[in-house]
Structure 1
Amino acid sequence: MAPQFPIETNTIIMDSKLVKQYGSEILSYRLRTVRQKKRMQYEDFDKQLSQTGKEERRLIRQNRTLGWEPLTPPVQKGWKRFFVLRDDVAYGKHAAFFENILRKINTYDWSYRKDFMIRKGRYGKNKFGVKPQSLLRPHENHFLRLGFTDDEKQFFYEELVHYGKNHFAKRYIFSEPWRFVLRVRPNIIDKVKKRDIEIERRLKEIDNYLDGNHYRGRMNRLLYGTDWNSRLKEERLWEKSVLKNKPLPRILDECAQDLL
């Protein structure tokens, strides 16, 4: 077991020098060494940085909960596309059953064009096609959170989706997608999010202070225990291949040098 020293050596040397020069009464003033003063400055800066980060999170939460206000007059911005029940299903006796399923797996898309055409050509080839859209295929945990009944679960089947090397995820797919059809409607905006000028101004000041002085990483380490930006950069560097953009003769020369 390593010995524990209750008092630092530098502090003992300093105390002895001060006692010899000014007497034992000087110890009541609790004078600090240069190292202690420097450490207190860093600790005080970290406290202020943590308070700034907590204030930023609090203001972001307040800005999200401001609510909405009506927009008069309403305006149209593009077109939206979503799934609805097919006519024969909508007028059938099981319409409510499939409507409840659709409410949980429906997807919405937006486009500035009514026909939802997108450009598919490359290198100057102006080829256009309809933008694809499919029903939601939730993964296992999401599927459980949607709260399907036992009767509704019978209309889904499992499928393993490959996401990477030796990594598969289970997704649930609706087995009868023909019951739903796509419908295009104007995207009408009749309400806008409320704004608080003081909150936005303060958030802008905090953002300029943290990003302008490169304090964002240190603040993340203080509040969350890690720097997400540096971690993302490390992952990207790890994924980058060392052989990328290297000619074959250079690769062979490097391999020969390693063997030697």
Structure 2
Amino acid sequence: MAVNLMHDNFFMENYTVDEYALCTRFKSKRRKKRLVKEDFERQLIQLDNLEKKLWKQRNNLPWILLDEPYQKGWQRHFKLRDDVVRSSEAEFYKTLLEKINTWQFSSDKTFKKRKSKKRKNASSVQIQKLKEFTESEWNSPKLELSEREKVHFSKQERWSKVFERYRIHYVFNEPWRYVLQVKPYMITHKRMLDSDLESEIQLILNYTSNYNLRGKINRLVKGLSYNWGYFQSENPREISPIKNKSLHLLYQQYVDEMI
């Protein structure tokens, strides 16, 4: 019996703690650290799923009719020219306009935008065109244009600064048949407000922004640490209200808009 105990003590003394843990039910330090990390990542994925669910519930809330509608800027879109309305092809071009019409919104009725912040008085009118189709959209079976309507489009090749190559576009041949129309943009409805839902969403936003978790969540869910569709604000815990007053106001404005 004494020989067996001596043998066991000698056996244990020749192994490290991690190696001994592999032979037992105890977890090694590395294994424990890994389990804690995996559990935290699962919690972040669950938090992201909960956030998407809450935003979906918020977007599905019904709209409420306002007692007093108010104007919020101006909207601009195309309409048939007067002589085209009186022509025999008015119905055809009206149906086509529903498929290629575009809208723009501006706080200025003239639809002018400042060229740069340094040039205060320099401004230019925003350019608005009818909808153009890329090559993939043109060849897609989901394209709503009929064969008769496709005849009125031409194929053009233009240089793209984004893709750094020439790209094909299909452009309407007779844009003169339509003219721009400016109208007040009236707000007649507002979405129903759920205070409990807004509070839950804000808690998640505060948690992810205060601990800089948005990049980690995007990396776990999408494989990328940055999401182009998400407004990435500075960590509010690192913002100095004295040195970075503009950043602090920007973040507060973003929070107010979310609420």
**TM-score, structure 2 as length reference:** 0.72
Q: CA distance change for structure 1 residues 132 and 225 in 2, over 3 Å: closer, same or farther?
A: closer
Q: Indicate if the aligned counterparts of 2:74 and 2:185 stay in contact, CA closer than 8 A.
A: yes
Q: Which residue identity does 1:13 align to in structure 2?
A: Y
Q: Which residue identity does 1:14 align to in structure 2?
A: A
Structure 1 gap ranges (5+): 1-8, 17-26, 231-260
Task: Render the CA deviation track for 1:9-65: whole Å, top value 9, x for unaligned.
Answer: 96552366xxxxxxxxxx5xx332222222221111111111111111111222222
Matching residue of 1:160 = 157
Task: Render the CA deviation track for 1:150-175: whole Å, top value 9, x for unaligned.
Answer: 00000001111211475222111110
- The Cα RMSD (Å) is 2.6
What is the Cα deviation at residue 123 of structure 1? Answer: 5.8
Q: CA distance change for structure 1 residues 83 and 10 in 2, over 3 Å: closer, same or farther?
A: same
Matching residue of 2:173 = 175
Q: Which moved more, 1:163-172 or 1:177-186?
A: 163-172
Matching residue of 1:110 = 105
Distance in 2, matches of 1:124 and 1:218, equals 40
Distance in 2, matches of 1:182 and 1:229, equals 35
What is the Cα deviation at residue 125 of structure 1? Answer: 7.0
Q: CA distance change for structure 1 residues 218 and 77 in 2, over 3 Å: closer, same or farther?
A: closer
Matching residue of 2:198 = 200
Distance in 2, matches of 1:13 and 1:121, equals 68
SS class of match (1:102): helix
Distance in 1, matches of 2:159 and 2:171, equals 15
1:191 matched to 2:197? The reply is: no
SS class of match (2:87): coil
Matching residue of 1:14 = 21
Distance in 2, matches of 1:152 and 1:102, equals 11
Pairing partner for 2:57 from 55, 62, 69: 62
Q: Which residue identity does 1:96 align to in structure 2?
A: E
Q: Mapping of 1:17-166 within 5 angstroms?
A: 30-119=25-114, 126-127=121-122, 129-143=124-138, 144=140, 145-164=142-161, 166=164
Distance in 2, matches of 1:111 and 1:166, equals 30
Q: Which residue identity does 1:195 align to in structure 2?
A: L
Q: Larger % of helix: which?
A: 1
SS class of match (2:95): helix
**TM-score, structure 1 as length reference:** 0.71
Distance in 2, matches of 1:221 and 1:127, equals 42
Query: In percent, how many aligned pairs have the same letter?
Result: 36
Q: Which moved more, 1:136-145 or 1:149-158?
A: 136-145
Matching residue of 1:246 = none
Matching residue of 1:248 = none
Q: Indicate if the aligned counterparts of 1:104 and 1:146 stay in contact, CA closer than 8 A.
A: no
Q: Indicate if the aligned counterparts of 1:80 and 1:111 stay in contact, CA closer than 8 A.
A: yes
Distance in 2, matches of 1:94 and 1:123, equals 49
Distance in 1, matches of 2:120 and 2:48, equals 49
What is the Cα deviation at residue 121 of structure 1? Answer: 8.4
Structure 2 gap ranges (5+): 1-15, 229-259
Q: CA distance change for structure 1 residues 42 and 15 in 2, over 3 Å: closer, same or farther?
A: closer
Task: Render the CA deviation track for 1:48-95: whole Å, top value 9, x for unaligned.
Answer: 111111111111222222232111111122222111001111122211
